[in-house]
């Protein structure tokens, strides 16, 4: 029987996922934060991980940082990510990160079984909602998702300089804006991308293969 670890910071989601998977799979461990999840992964043999994108407590409060750690240290383990975020650039970044399936928490939980079956057969799975979002934002010429399409030009400028290592003061001086404005534009960009911490912007740029 397929052994699964479930991770989400909302107990009701854990319960719903467990019920949706039914008796066809063995839930060998459950976690409500990143630290607990990593402990289970180190100590509990499993065949598949189903994890929330972002759990706010522990050493990895930013979702992309957590996903990066999981892919680096448990690359052999198929990973299904559950999220309510619908930013196409973020969804594409997760796929670029090596995530095997993306599941929208707004979808019927029974669809989670479809995701599990697809992944265990070696196929990538996108729930219909996310597939539609990525298809809608694809470039006609290349069929790939447009990076950072949701950001304004000014937000994009701030993100570009930040990931190059400039401080808020240096960015403000270079763009002739106040530090307060730069901070606000960076925060707005992070909100649009579903990122909780500054390090997430750098990780996002890296895994997205962004070219500025």
pLDDT in tens, 103-139: 999 998 889 999 999 999 999 999 999 999 888 766 4
User: Can you name the residues that pair with 208 across neighbouring β-strands?
Assistant: none
CATH number of the domain at 3-136, please? 3.40.50.2300
Segment 82-101 mean pLDDT: 86
Query: What does the pLDDT look like over 166-206, one tens digit per residue?
Result: 899 999 998 889 999 999 999 998 888 777 777 777 777 76
Please name the CATH architecture into which domain 153-208 falls.
Orthogonal Bundle (1.10)
85 contacts: CB under 8 Å, gap ≥ 6: 53, 91, 194
In angstroms, rounded to a whole number, what is the distance separating the alpha carbons of residues 25 and 119? 14
82 phi/psi in degrees, rounded to 5: -105, 135
What does the domain layout of the chain look like in residue ranges?
3-136, 153-208
On average, the pLDDT of the chain sits at 85
Query: Are domains 3-136 and 153-208 of this chain identical in fold?
Result: no
DSSP per position, 83-111: E----HHHHHHHHHTT--EEEETTS-TTH
In angstroms, rounded to a whole number, what is the distance separating the alpha carbons of residues 209 and 212? 10
In angstroms, rounded to a whole number, what is the distance separating the alpha carbons of residues 108 and 210? 33
pTM value? 0.71
């Amino acid at each position: 029987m397929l052994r699964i670890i479930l991770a989400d910071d909302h107990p009701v989601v854990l319960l719903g996922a467990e019920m949706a998977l039914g008796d066809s799979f063995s839930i060998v461990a459950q976690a409500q934060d990143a630290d607990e999840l990593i402990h289970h992964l180190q100590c509990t043999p499993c065949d598949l991980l189903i994890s929330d994108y972002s759990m706010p407590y522990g050493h990895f409060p930013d979702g992309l940082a957590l996903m990066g750690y999981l892919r680096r240290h448990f690359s052999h383990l198929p990973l299904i990510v559950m999220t309510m975020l619908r930013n196409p650039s973020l969804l594409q970044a997760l796929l670029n990160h090596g995530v095997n399936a993306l599941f929208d928490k707004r979808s019927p939980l029974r669809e989670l079984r479809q995701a599990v079956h697809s992944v265990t057969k070696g196929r990538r799975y996108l729930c219909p909602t996310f597939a539609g979002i990525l298809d809608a934002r694809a470039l006609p010429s290349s069929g790939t998702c447009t990076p950072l399409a949701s950001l304004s030009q000014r937000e994009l400028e701030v993100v570009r300089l930040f990931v190059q290592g400039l401080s808020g003061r240096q960015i403000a001086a270079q763009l002739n804006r106040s530090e307060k404005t730069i901070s606000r534009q960076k925060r707005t960009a992070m909100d649009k991308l579903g990122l909780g911490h500054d390090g997430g912007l750098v990780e996002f740029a890296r895994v997205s293969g962004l070219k500025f």
